[in-house]
A and B are shown apart, each in its own frame.
Chain A
C-alpha cells in the first residue's frame, strides 16, 4: 500500500509539474465541445438533444489523447524496469498510475462538464446526470486505456494505434453515458444506465490492471 501511495503521489507531481499535458487534454475537451455548436448551428433544440453525446464523445477523445503519458516515459527512461523489480506487483503499479491518470484527466473533465452542459443548453437535471455519468464512467476510461497504452509500448505510432484499440472498448461507456442523460430527459429512468456505468468501472478495476500488467511484461521482454 505504501508503494502504491508513493507511485500515485509521484504521478500527480509529474502531471502537475508538466502541467501542459493536463491542459492539453482539458483544452481539447473544451474546444471540441465549443466547436460543435458552430458546426451544427445555434438551434437550441438540436443542441439540447445532442449535447450530452457531444460532451461524452469529447471526453472519450480527450482521455485517449492523454493515454500515452501512462507508461511511455517510464518505458523510454528505464523506469518500467525498476517498477517491475519494485516491492509492488506491476498490477498495483497500473492501478496507481490509472488512479493518478483519472485524478488529472477524468476528474477535471467531470468538473468541467457542467459548464459545457450549460453551453449546449442542457437543463439542470441533465447536467447533473451528465456529471454523475462522467464521474462513474471516467475511471473505466483510464483503466481500459491502460491496456491499450501498455499494448502499444514500443510501437512506431503508439497514439494512433492505442486509439484504434481503445475506442471500440469505450463504446459501451459512451452508449450508457449519453443514454443516461437521454433517458433522464425522456422518462426519468437514468438509474439503470448509471448503474451500468458504475458496473463497467468496477468490472474494469480488477481486470484491466491484470491485462495491462501482462502487456507491460511483454514489452519488457
Chain B
C-alpha cells in the first residue's frame, strides 16, 4: 500500500475481513507467511510496528464509568502520547459539547464516534478500521471520511473492512472469499 493509500476489504459475512484486520494489527499471528511493513517483517520489531498503528475493531473499549475526555486521554497516554490531541479529536467527531459526560450516557452512535476519535487523539501512520460506519449517522460518516482523507493527505495509510460503500478517492478494493482462501487439502478434508 503506497503512502496515502486506502484499502477497502469487502466480502460476505465470515469471509475473513475482521480476521485479516486482526492479522494486520498483530492481534492474530499468521500460521504461514509474514506481514511486511516498511520493508521488514513486523515480527522483527513488533513493538515498533504496533506503535505505528491504530486499530478500531467492532468493540469500542469504552468504560461506562469514565468520562469522554478521560477515555481519549487514557488511550492516548497508553500509546505514549500526551493528552494535547484530545481537544482536536473531540471537535473532529463533534464530541466537544459532551466531553465531560460519563460514557454510560452515550448512545451507540456517540460511542462509535468516541472510539473513532481515538484515531485523532494520538497520531499513527496506519489505521485499521473494522466496520467504522456501524451505528454512525450521516454526519458521523461525513466526519469519518473527512478524518480519513486528512490522514491520507498527510501520508497515512488506512485499511477498512466494510459492507457500506465508502466514498474514498483512489481506494483499492479487495474482495475476500473465505472458501477460495481455504487451503485445498482442508477443503478436501471437510468433504
Contact = CB atoms under 8 A, between A and B. Distances in A.
B79 to A, nearest CB: 6
Contact of A3 (B27, B55, B66, B77): B77
B12 interface: no
Nearest to B58: A78
A188 interface: no
A79 B75 CA distance: 10
A11 B191 CA distance: 50
Given A13-B66, A84-B27, A85-B50, A3 B80 contact: yes
Contact of A10 (B47, B58, B74): B74
A13 B61 contact: no
A18 B65 CA distance: 7
Interface residues of B, number: 26
Interface in B51-108: 51, 53, 55, 57-63, 65-66, 70, 74-75, 77-80
Nearest to B115: A78
B60 A86 contact: no
A14 B65 contact: yes
Contacts of B28: 220-221
A88 interface: yes
A10 B74 CA distance: 8
Contacts, number: 69
A156 interface: no
Band of interface residues on A: 20 to 34
A82 interface: yes
B171 interface: no
B3 interface: no
Contacts of A87: 47, 51, 78-80
Contacts of A89: 47
Given A77-B60, A84-B27, A2 B80 contact: yes
B29 interface: yes
Contacts of A85: 25-27, 50, 53, 55
A6 B185 CA distance: 48
A7 B78 contact: yes
A17 interface: yes
B79 A81 contact: no
Q: Which of B28, B77, B78 has the most CB of A within 10 A?
A: B78
A10 to B, nearest CB: 5
B78 A78 contact: no
Nearest to A10: B74
A74 B78 CA distance: 14
Contacts of A84: 27
Contacts of B79: 86-87
A13 B78 CA distance: 16
Given A13-B65, A13-B66, A85-B53, A78 B77 contact: no
Contact of A73 (B27, B29, B63, B78): B63
A30 B29 CA distance: 46
A73 B61 CA distance: 9
Interface of B: 25-29, 47, 50-51, 53, 55, 57-63, 65-66, 70, 74-75, 77-80
15 contacts: A10-B74, A13-B70, A17-B65, A74-B61, A76-B59, A78-B57, A81-B59, A81-B61, A82-B75, A85-B50, A85-B55, A86-B50, A88-B78, A221-B27, A221-B28
Given A6-B74, A87-B47, 18 more contacts: A2-B80, A3-B77, A13-B65, A74-B61, A77-B60, A77-B61, A78-B60, A79-B61, A79-B63, A81-B27, A81-B55, A81-B57, A81-B59, A82-B55, A82-B61, A85-B50, A85-B53, A86-B79
